[in-house]
Structure 1
Amino acid sequence: MRKVLIFGNSGSGKSTLAKKLVNEEGLAHLDLDSLAWLSEAPPRRAPIEESRKKIIEFITSNERFVIEGCYSDLLEIAAPRANEVIFMNLSIAKCVQNAKSRPWEPHKYESKEAQDKNLEMLINWIEQYEDREDVFSYQSHLRLYENFIGKKLMYVENESHT
């Protein structure tokens, strides 16, 4: 049974690939954005233990799944129960291009206009990927990929998986 983790920079195509797996294989889908943040302004990360409980509940409720996000700390919770990882390791330029052409994400924003207001901030975030040293960084994703025991795929182009 396929149990997949997809991770990489913002704009790398994680959600698009996850949706493709859901549609083609009927995998249950968990977007880590849906549980990583508290619903308050300004946004603040949910306590890790609260997120852990939701991840474990999702995994135990679904025999086949895809979990996607850029949160290495949350992905590490799921990694022992996964049998495959996909590292979306696209260039910064390609991630920025993808972000600029991203369709409206109604589960994250009330409107396309609200989403587009965050585009400059998102592009800055994407461009810092290789320089950051946090759980969202290239280094943390590469470490997760290298340490995973099981099937590993790394995509450097979105077309590689279509």
Structure 2
Amino acid sequence: MKTILLGNAGSGKSTLSRKLIARQPAARLSLDEVAFQDGSERRCLQESIADVKRFIAEHESWIIEGCYADIIEPILADCEELIFLNPGVDVCVANCRARPWEPEKFSSQEEQDENLSNLIEWVTAYESRSDEYGLRWHRELYDSFTKEKRELNHLHDYESV
């Protein structure tokens, strides 16, 4: 398995990656791990891409998940399957509100809760954004991908993966 899960924050990428790995073991990389340094500052793009390429070289089977089209685009050729999770902004917002504490990102549940309104504002702008996090660039990556691909638009579609 060499799969990329692409989609908005809250679209279910992490949940789906855990489900796929439970069925077929693979290494997993969340692009959040390579995209940022010291909290909210983006790392140099080339450094992030180099880290992902190193991860790919070190693992025979893998899942990479994230919303960073600028990191995903240069590694698409290494991917066998692209899954675009696009359930709509309302579903993503609801998932963000229900998200359990993520200790790899926040030092406490309280810190995560303090960031929730910023996250929801960011997620809500998905369809109008033209940056690497937005629907426009995600759609371009998906449409241009020539290998196996699936777009999941409803949560019940996730069950068939």
Say whether 1:15 aligns with 2:18: no
- Please name the residue that 1:94 is paired with: 91
Cα distance between partner residues in 2 of 1:159 and 1:128: 24
- Please name the residue that 1:35 is paired with: 34
Q: Give the CA deviation at 1:30.
A: 0.4
Long gaps (5+) in structure 2: none
1:99-142: CA deviations, max 9, x gaps? Answer: 10011111111111111111100110011001111000000000
Long gaps (5+) in structure 1: none
Number of equivalent positions: 159
Question: Which residue, out of 57, 61, 73, partners 2:54?
Answer: 57
User: Alpha carbon RMSD of aligned pairs, Å?
Assistant: 0.9
Cα distance between partner residues in 1 of 2:129 and 2:104: 27
Alignment of 1:50-89 (within 5 A): 50-89=47-86
- Please name the residue that 2:42 is paired with: 45
Please tell me the residue identity of whatever aligns with 1:155: L
Calculate percent identity across the aligned residue pairs: 38
1:5-62: CA deviations, max 9, x gaps? Answer: 001111100111111112221011000000100115xx21100111111111100011
1:52-103: CA deviations, max 9, x gaps? Answer: 1111110001111100000001111221100100000111111111110011
> Is the 8 Å Cα contact of residues 92 and 126 (structure 1) preserved in structure 2?
yes
TM-score normalised by length of structure 1: 0.95
Cα distance between partner residues in 1 of 2:112 and 2:23: 28
Q: Give the CA deviation at 1:159.
A: 2.5
> Is the 8 Å Cα contact of residues 130 and 139 (structure 1) preserved in structure 2?
yes
Please tell me the residue identity of whatever aligns with 1:5: I
- Please name the residue that 2:157 is paired with: 160
- Please name the residue that 1:127 is paired with: 124
Cα distance between partner residues in 2 of 1:52 and 1:132: 22
Runs (4 or more) in structure 1 with deviation over 3 Å come to: none
Please tell me the residue identity of whatever aligns with 1:95: C
